Structure 1
Amino acid sequence: MSLLTYKDRPVDIAPGETVLDALLRAGVEAPYSCRSGNCQTCMHRAVEGKPPEQSQKGLTDAQKALGFFLPCICEPTAPLVIAPPDDAGAAMEATVREITPLSHDVVRLRIETANFAYRPGQFLELIAGDDLKRHYSLASHPEEDPFLEMHIRLHPNGRMSRHVQETLSTGHKVHVAGPRGTCFYEGVDADQPLILIGAGTGLAPLYGVLRDALRKEHRGPIRLYHGARERKGLYLTEELQALAKSRANVEYIPATLDAGGDVAALALEAEKSRAAHSAIFLCGGEALVKRLKRDFFMSGASLKAIRSDAFTPAG
């Protein structure tokens, strides 16, 4: 086996040569800038093999867990198969197993496919046609569920919403690609306070992260904040209340705007004194995530300790 493989193409690399230099010499159009490991422009991902520790300097624990590294400072001593950071691989066929309502405008979609490896809290691309593709976060757990679960908001004029409502049913075929994202539990200290904040279907990845934390016996306090515009916008309420009652270190805090509860303000006020020592997960609309990331950073949280999944509307 070649010491370096780019996707499925062997690349010659000389002893002491960096991965970036080998890629450029082989004609690969790899991006780069500083060539010293500071700007992270050249970042790639190891899909097989482990990059040298030095080549992951400055990356978050979540990025390291996914195999990201900096080719400009990577001199491999063991075989590596690498790919661009956004290369999700080929699409895989999946079968619809369940579509059920969770609230007045959110449905649970469960699909089955073979050998789709992911971490709870990551997201995938759901492909219903050549021109109908959307990203959805995963609420399922690969060690507990034989399916992939997504929570899909039904937008009145949304093409995927209409497709899910009007066309998809049990047994229908779709395709998925991925996974992507670094919003997962791996790399969190088991004794850290764990703060999970989401709005709307931002609950989906947080539900996956929460389940993973409990499966890995997280010992620190876990507080899950879920926000919605109206009471009817909350979902999985009974399951989360029951979970909080059964686990001494779990607290579930719902908040709705119609009852005067701004989930961002509520969570920040309650958690800012603990921000510097906590692992923080933020999921939902882009404005909410940016606001909370900024405010928690100003309250002393390390950016490395903040993981997020910002939802952006389809173009």
Structure 2
Amino acid sequence: MTLLTYREAAIEIEPGEDVLSALLRAEIDAPHSCRSGVCQSCMHRAVEGNPPAAAQEGLSDAQKSLGYFLACVCVPDRPLTIVPAQETAIRSEVVVHSMERLSGDVVRLRLEHDSDFTYRPGQFLELITDDGLRRHYSIASLPEDDPFVELHIRLHPGGRMSRFISDELAHGRRLHIAGPLGTCIYEGVDPDQPMALIGSGTGLAPLIGVLRDALRRGHRGPIRLYHGAREREGLYLHDHLQALTKRHANLHYIPRVLSDTGPHGGDVAAAALDHENALPQTAFFLCGGEKLVGRLKRDFYMKGASLKQMRSDTFLPAGSGR
């Protein structure tokens, strides 16, 4: 019986041997450092089979649910098929279902996909043009309810992908995507646990996906959604979210606009840091630019929040990857 398959190749693994040692002995260039399960640089993902619990210690519940494990402390007792942690983006073809403006510079792009494309709300995918241009966008749709994948895309003046989307995309256009990737998902959250969803700009997209997933599953704990923008127009789903709060007693929507001096004025990070108090018990979902996500992670941790309870989707500048 083959206990270890790497990509499509069977790897010889000795009784009691860890996965990292077997990979290195097979001359596979597997990243690693501490070899004690601390640095997490040797992380891989099981695409078939379940890694032992000891190989997932220190990982978030979301990572565990997706099959991620630490190769240096993984001694398999059953067959595993594994791939590197960042090699799970499967390329597939999609068709443009529709595209509409949500604000002056944000569009909602819906893509029809075949049944082989599976994802969880809050993950992201890579949109690929015919000439090889690639950009990452987060998923706002819910696979149980939506026959399409929904992306919220900010159009940047002069941006190559922005020009492609605004000038060339229309109903019926075929595109390629790769993915999904990311662990900013609802899996692993207790139904009675408080949730804090915090994002700015189109960082709302993955939060909408997670929110819809939580509500569909009957989440009972309080859910607070914080959305920040520079200008009032940046709250591009404001009316929809206000209406949603009227239908769900445990949902609270807190918008913040930097340029506004009214009741919704202020900084979204400051608002969340001021309002959240049950920090060790709260599941945090942090989505937006590097500065916002980094600040929230640091400050919430310093105030007592658990890093294991933080899921994030960091938006990096074009060309930086995810």
TM-score under structure 1 length normalisation: 0.97
Partner of residue 314, structure 1 = 318
Residues 135-150 of structure 1: matches in 2 within 5 Å? Answer: 135-150=136-151
Partner of residue 264, structure 1 = 269
Structure 2 distance, partners of 1:199, 1:42, is 32
Query: Number of residue pairs matched?
Result: 314
Contact residue 51 and residue 74 of structure 2 kept, 8 A: yes
Partner of residue 284, structure 2 = 280
Partner of residue 26, structure 1 = 26
Q: CA deviation at 1:14?
A: 2.1
Structure 2 distance, partners of 1:282, 1:143, is 23
Structure 1 unpaired stretches of 5+: none
Matched, 1:203 2:200: no
Partner of residue 38, structure 1 = 38
Percentage of pairs with the same residue: 64
Match for 1:15: what amino acid?
Answer: P
Match for 2:139: what amino acid?
Answer: L
Partner of residue 67, structure 1 = 67
- After the TM superposition, which of the residue ranges 101-110 and 59-68 deviates more from structure 2? 59-68
Structure 2 distance, partners of 1:244, 1:147, is 25
Partner of residue 299, structure 1 = 303
Structure 2 distance, partners of 1:88, 1:41, is 16
Structure 2 distance, partners of 1:189, 1:101, is 35
Match for 1:268: what amino acid?
Answer: L
Partner of residue 221, structure 1 = 222
Matched, 1:289 2:290: no
Q: Deviations over 1:248-304 (max 9, x none)?
A: 100111111121321111111111x22222111111111111111111111110111
Residues 174-253 of structure 1: matches in 2 within 5 Å? Answer: 174-253=175-254
3-state SS of paired residue (1:144): coil
Contact residue 276 and residue 299 of structure 1 kept, 8 A: no
Q: CA deviation at 1:88?
A: 2.6
Structure 1 distance, partners of 2:76, 2:151, is 38
Q: Deviations over 1:27-85 (max 9, x none)?
A: 21112222222222211110111001111121111111111111111111111100000
Contact residue 128 and residue 175 of structure 1 kept, 8 A: yes
Structure 2 distance, partners of 1:90, 1:137, is 16
3-state SS of paired residue (1:224): strand
Q: 1:60 to 1:167 in 2, by over 3 A?
A: same
Structure 1 distance, partners of 2:297, 2:171, is 39
Structure 2 distance, partners of 1:209, 1:97, is 22
3-state SS of paired residue (1:196): strand
Q: CA deviation at 1:203?
A: 0.4
Partner of residue 173, structure 2 = 172
TM-score under structure 2 length normalisation: 0.95
Contact residue 124 and residue 179 of structure 1 kept, 8 A: yes
3-state SS of paired residue (2:177): strand
Contact residue 230 and residue 256 of structure 1 kept, 8 A: yes
Matched, 1:3 2:3: yes
Contact residue 93 and residue 175 of structure 2 kept, 8 A: yes
Match for 1:176: what amino acid?
Answer: I
Structure 2 distance, partners of 1:79, 1:283, is 36
Contact residue 58 and residue 308 of structure 2 kept, 8 A: no
Residues 40-189 of structure 1: matches in 2 within 5 Å? Answer: 40-114=40-114, 115-189=116-190
Structure 1 distance, partners of 2:12, 2:305, is 43
Structure 1 distance, partners of 2:274, 2:38, is 34
Q: 1:195 to 1:89 in 2, by over 3 A?
A: closer
3-state SS of paired residue (1:86): coil
Large movers: runs of 4+ above 6 Å: none
